[in-house]
Amino acid sequence: MDDLLADFLTETQEGLVALDAALVRLERAPEDTATLSEVFRIVHTIKGTCGFLGLTRMEAVAHAAENVLGRYRDGTLAVSQAGISQILGAIDCIRGITTGLEATGAEPEGEDAPLIAALNAVAAGEAAAAAPRPAPAAPPPAMPAAPVAVAPAVAPPAIPPTAPAAENEAGGANAPPQTIRVTVEVLEGLMMLVSELVLTRNQLLQLSRNGADSAFAVPLQRLSHITSDLQEGVMKTRMQPIGNAWAKLPRLVRDLGVELGKKIELEMRGAETELDRQVLELIKDPLTHMVRNSADHGLETPEQRVAAGKPEAGRIMLHASHEGGHIIIEIADDGRGLNVERIRQKVLSQGLATEAELAAMPEREVQRFIFRAGFSTAAAVTAVSGRGVGMDVVKTNMERIGGTIEVRSKEGRGTAFIVKIPLTLAIVSALIVEAGGERFAIPQIGVVELVRVGGEGAPQLERIKDSAVLRLRDRLLPLVNLAGLLHLDSPAAEENAFVVVTQVGPHVFGIIVDRVFDTEEIVVKPVAPILRHVTMFSGNTILGDGSVIMILDPNGIARATGVGAESGEGEPERDGKRQALAHRSDQRTALLLFRAGDATPKAVPLGLIARLEDVERERIENAGGRPLVQYRGQLMPLVPISGHWDPDLAPARQPVLVFSDGDRAMGLMVDEILDVVEERMAIDGAGERPGFLGTTVIGGKVTEMLDTAWWLRQAGEDWFGGAADRARGSGHRLLVIEDSPFFRNLVVPALGAVGYEVTAVADAEEALRLREAGASFEAVISDIVLPGMDGFALARTLREGGAWRDLPLIALTGRIDPADIEHGRAAGFTDYVAKFDRAALLDSLRQCLTAPVAG
């Protein structure tokens, strides 16, 4: 195959992906001239190039589709569903022809006359006949793959809109970014070389640490920095927007809606969220299956939805976002929800559990039976779903890449699947531990916290029958002794050990280890075939000293031991109030103690801190009189608590508290990290000074509580807007609804410090459960963008009736456009405050809690 044809095939496949989504948009908005022009331009380009290359079959199909689009564009023919269906059929035909071209270098044989006749009929204004979509002849199975990069490792550039030639000249103001196509094999080889370089770097650093005053210390440090930068650069070439995996979903949903007789709206948010190409390929099929399930099982017919008081069109929402070192994907619908009673009957009929066991299970555990192999509640098998072979495969595929999947459903309200997957599978950050004299790596994505047990004042291990448990913050965690599980010679002494608290889905449990070393960037190597039956391992790696260690898989450990059945969220669901999930201002909070500037200890909620870093003094740069450091591919501002940073007086390694939310990060430079403790934050605001909420007593010492919001603003980032102020809460009870853990940890101490009693939950459904359980509050503060039910829908629900109907309802959000504010007030919000303008929020609370609220 010559280079010209290879380039044509690559560009055509990119165009076909864009055409699917564009045609679905055009069908929904026929007046969208920009989308119509985009579709016409792509089809015209394909047709023109076909003529140049002598591809007569593809040219004929593209020409017939172009005729219909031309009639749409000049306004002589109205866009119709039947016409769009025929054009989509032409796109499928072209796609099949390109597959044959890629395999054999020549157009496959096929009969396109019925399709072309149907397209011509549409162009002539006649009713479109139901023409079959011809499938091109399949290529011979033994043919070798063509040497063409059909899956570029970087996101394919969008086809730019028609513009004057002057705008596209080199150096022009609107010149598109220059790109080059590289085969995936080349990038995979480069990634392997970088992985080996990382391993060699780790070995050299280990040798340097063992030698005193080594002449190689400085060059090795520089090598380490260059290797890290190179690693990040190569990783970026592997990163692709998750929108690439979603590209076919609008077309899929559209076709399903036509096939099932349903009206379906697909909403996609966070399509620009990037993750590793390898992970992206592995999640495409599971995501497609879940969307098909939502369309078939989840959404009702238009008649059923109208009868239930819902909009005629059902809604499927996909949302992707970064959270730490992983990606959170939510696939939600507003359909009928899971029928828990039907699931129970199916469980009993298949003998998966007894009636007594089902009666003791919380509703969420019952819903998780849909992930069992062969389990389906569908009344009939359809062409789309109902065979019971889907969700268990989805769960298995997610766990295979170190991810988890959870389901949340409310009958009559809808279902949401929450998928948590690692950002990359190639190089990950891991915690190195030791058990039974052997070292292991635990990926940090699965580590919730690390607990030392057995010391004075530390949590103690307890036993229920023969099982070890840990009482941690009024919750019992089941424990697994790693050395005992792996049958090592010297199991860990449970009375004086470390517990690695990890989470698998909704279940939280602890792994007992002897020692904890450090975190390290490790290169993941696949498990050898002889060990693949041992599900506790997900791979192996080579440490800096050259030793090979196994990488533990928390999912496999949970499956092998059966722990976690009632941990985490199970117990709170039984009492209906779910207090364990609510973040209260008067509960014991994990605090990080440190020193900075003077001898008085200082504290900050541990949940606000993304990472603790020791930054080498040489890495800290100065720009405009402000210290900065290159951190994870971007410049991170550093703020010294003492007010001034002198590089000549600074330590060789500067302790930094990293605060991060989304793509924003800042570092707070401190003198010394002291400890992590759990205390109730009884803050005395007397004598408050800028940057601190007040003082409290921790461990018998007066400790200053950090005002994190104040320091974030010193970094120059517009995290919230506005300045801080002071008001007294007078014991008023507030409910805060905020899905971001970062902002929950920010709002609760800030309001608690001025006297409010605050309870915070993560979504609207949780808030409504508190209302149903009889919880009492005097005001509600809610974000607008929430998973599942958004803030606008929550406001309307609260104003419809119930115990909270007349409560002040304050929107605390980053969406402060006039249209959003108007929408919020129409939905029932009392006031609208920018996130996180503490002064405006306190003023709003003061006014709302002293003035009567109109119902």
Phi-psi map region of 806: left, alpha, beta (phi>0 left; psi -120 to 50 alpha)? alpha
How much is the average pLDDT of 838-848?
Answer: 82
In 651-778, which ranges are E strands?
653-661, 664-669, 672-680, 692-698, 701-706, 733-737, 757-761
Q: Return the minimum-mean-pLDDT range out of 21-30, 607-616, 792-801.
A: 607-616
Above 80 in pLDDT, residue 845? yes
pLDDT at 326 over 80: no
Instruction: For residue 601, give the DSSP letter.
Output: E
- Phi, psi for 412 (deg, rounded to 5): 85, -10
Report how far residue 477's alpha carbon sits from residue 474's, in angstroms, rounded to the nearest whole number: 10
- CATH superfamily, domain 242-422, is Histidine kinase-like ATPase, C-terminal domain (3.30.565.10)
Instruction: Give percent of the chain with pLDDT exceeding 70.
Output: 77
Q: Please report, as a single letter, which amino acid is at residue 548.
A: V
Asked if residue 83 has pLDDT above 60, the reply is yes
677 forms beta bridges with 591
The token duo for 794 is 């929550």
Residue 309 DSSP label:
T
Report the pLDDT value the prediction gives residue 43, as an integer from 0 to 100: 87
Q: Kindly state the DSSP code that residue 167 receives in the 8-state scheme.
A: G
Q: Using CA atoms, how far apart are residues 317 and 175, in angstroms rounded to an integer? A: 34
pLDDT for residue 576: 35
User: If you search the block for the tokens 């507003």, which residue do you land on?
Assistant: 334
241-257: pLDDT as tens digits: 888 888 888 888 888 88
Between the CA of residue 727 and those of 269, 456, 667, 683, 841, what are the distances in Å?
Answer: 37, 40, 28, 14, 10
pLDDT at 575: 35
Higher pLDDT, 506 or 542: 542
What is d(CA 728, CA 842) in angstroms, rounded to the nearest whole number? 8
| Tokens 């295979």 found at | 400
- Has domain 733-850 been given CATH number 3.40.50.2300? yes
Question: What is the tens place of the pLDDT at every residue in 103-132?
Answer: 888 888 888 888 888 888 888 875 444 444
Rounded Cα–Cα distance for residues 728 and 731 (Å): 9
Structure tokens at 693: 């909420």
Mean pLDDT confidence for 793-810: 87
Which stretch of DSSP H or E encloses residue 417? strand 414-422
The span from the CA of 765 to the CA of 411, in Å, is 12
Q: Give yes or no for residue 333 having a pLDDT over 50.
A: yes
721 has a pLDDT exceeding 70:
no
Which residue carries 């790109």 as its tokens?
Answer: 179
- Please list, residue by residue across 52-91, b when 16 or more beta carbons sit within 10 angstroms of its beta carbon and e when fewer do: ebebebbbbbbbbbbbbbebbeeeebebbeebbbbbbbbb
pLDDT of residue 494: 61
User: Which of the four pLDDT bands, split at 50, 70 and 90, describes residue 520?
Assistant: confident
pLDDT number for residue 376: 65
481 and 492 Cβ atoms separated by less than 8 Å: yes
Secondary structure letter of residue 361 according to DSSP:
S
CA proximity to 295, closest of 246, 268, 329, 331:
331
- Check residues 379 and 500 and name the one with the higher pLDDT: 500
Could you state, in order of their start, the residue ranges of all structural domains in the chain? 3-150, 196-240, 242-422, 428-575, 584-714, 733-850
Longest alpha-carbon distance in the chain: 87
Closest CA to 337 of 795, 788, 790, 799: 788
pLDDT at 265 over 80: yes
Cβ(648)–Cβ(587) below 8 Å = no
What are 722's two structure tokens? 């506005």
Cβ 659 vs Cβ 686: under 8 Å: no
- Sign of the alpha-carbon dihedral angle for 576, 582, 587, 593: positive
> What residues contact 191, with CB distance under 8 A and at least 6 apart?
234, 238, 426
SS3 172: coil
Q: Residues 451, 510: contact at Cβ < 8 Å?
A: yes
pLDDT bracket for residue 149 (50, 70, 90):
very low
**pLDDT greater than 60 at residue 762:** yes
Identify the band that residue 166 occupies on the pLDDT scale cut at 50, 70 and 90: very low
Half-sphere exposure of 78 (CA within 13 A, CB side): 4
Whether 685 shows a pLDDT value over 70: the answer reads no
pLDDT of residue 160: 38
For the chain, first and last CA: distance in Å?
73
Q: What are phi and psi of 40, to 5 degrees?
A: -60, -40
Three-state DSSP class for residue 538? strand
Cα-based distances in Å from 557 to 148, 423, 509, 553, 601: 42, 21, 10, 6, 40
Q: Is pLDDT at 814 greater than 50 in this prediction?
A: yes
* Angular region, 165: left φ>0, alpha ψ -120 to 50, beta rest: alpha
Separation CA 127–CA 340 (nearest Å): 46
CATH number for region 3-150: 1.20.120.160
Q: Specify the pairing of strand 314-323 against strand 326-333.
A: antiparallel
In this structure, of 274-283, 327-336, 788-797, the range with the lowest mean pLDDT score is 274-283
Q: What is the pLDDT of residues 287-300, one digit of tens each?
A: 888 888 888 888 88
CA-CA distance, 29 to 40, in Å (whole number)? 15
* Measured distance CA(440)–CA(522) in Å, rounded: 12
153: its two tokens: 């490792």
Which residues on adjacent β-strands are paired with residue 507?
A: 504
Region 734-763 average pLDDT: 81
- pLDDT digits 0-9 by tens, 446-467: 788 888 886 666 676 777 666 7
For residues 205 and 216, give the distance between their C-alpha atoms in angstroms, rounded to a whole number: 10
Would you state the pLDDT for residue 223? 86
pLDDT (mean) for 78-97: 88
C-alpha–C-alpha distance, residues 771 and 798, integer Å: 10
Confidence at residue 849, expressed as pLDDT on a 0 to 100 scale = 79
The whole-angstrom separation of Cα 756 and Cα 841 is 12
Residue 533 burial class via C-beta count within 10 angstroms: exposed 0-12, middle 13-18, buried 19 and up: exposed
Q: Which two tokens stand for residue 462?
A: 């307890």
Q: Does residue 169 register a pLDDT over 50?
A: no
Strand partners, 523: 427
pLDDT at position 159, please? 38
What are 483's two structure tokens?
């050395």
Nearest alpha-carbon partner for 502 in 494, 488, 513: 513
Q: Stretch 805-815: mean pLDDT, rounded?
A: 84
Q: Ranked by mean pLDDT, which of 110-124, 196-210, 838-852 comes out on top? A: 110-124
User: What was the pLDDT predicted at 695?
Assistant: 83
Q: Quick check: 852 pLDDT over 60?
A: no
**Residue type present at position 75:** G
Q: In the structure encoding, which two tokens stand for residue 458, read together? A: 């530390």
Are the folds of 428-575 and 584-714 the same? yes
Q: Which of left, alpha, beta for 378 (phi over 0: left; psi -120 to 50: alpha)?
A: beta
pLDDT in tens, 187-196: 778 877 887 7
Band (pLDDT 50/70/90 cuts) for residue 722 is very low
CATH 2.40.50.180 is the classification of domain 584-714: yes
Q: How much is the pLDDT for 126?
A: 59
pLDDT > 60? residue 583:
no
Percent of the chain with pLDDT over 90: 0
Residue spans of alpha helices (H) in 699-763: 708-714, 741-752
pLDDT over 50 at 157, yes or no:
no
Chain mean pLDDT for the chain: 75
CB–CB of 291/316 below 8 Å? yes
**CATH hierarchy code of domain 428-575:** 2.40.50.180
Give the residues across from 557 on adjacent strands: none
pLDDT of residue 151: 37
Rg (CA), the chain: 30
Buried b (16+ CB within 10 A) or exposed e, 717-749: eebbebebeebebeebebbbbbbbbbbbbbbbb
E strand or H helix that includes residue 345: helix 340-349
Cα–Cα distance measured from residue 775 to residue 822, given in angstroms and rounded to the nearest whole number: 29
pTM score of the predicted model: 0.48
Whether residue 581 has pLDDT greater than 80 = no
Chain position carrying tokens 């909070």: 589
Q: What is the predicted pLDDT for the residue at 125?
A: 74
Q: Which amino acid is at 465?
A: K
Query: Does position 736 have pLDDT exceeding 80, yes or no?
Result: yes
* Strongest mean pLDDT among 338-352, 364-378, 546-560: 338-352
Is residue 850 a contact partner of residue 809, using CB atoms and an 8 Å limit?
Answer: no
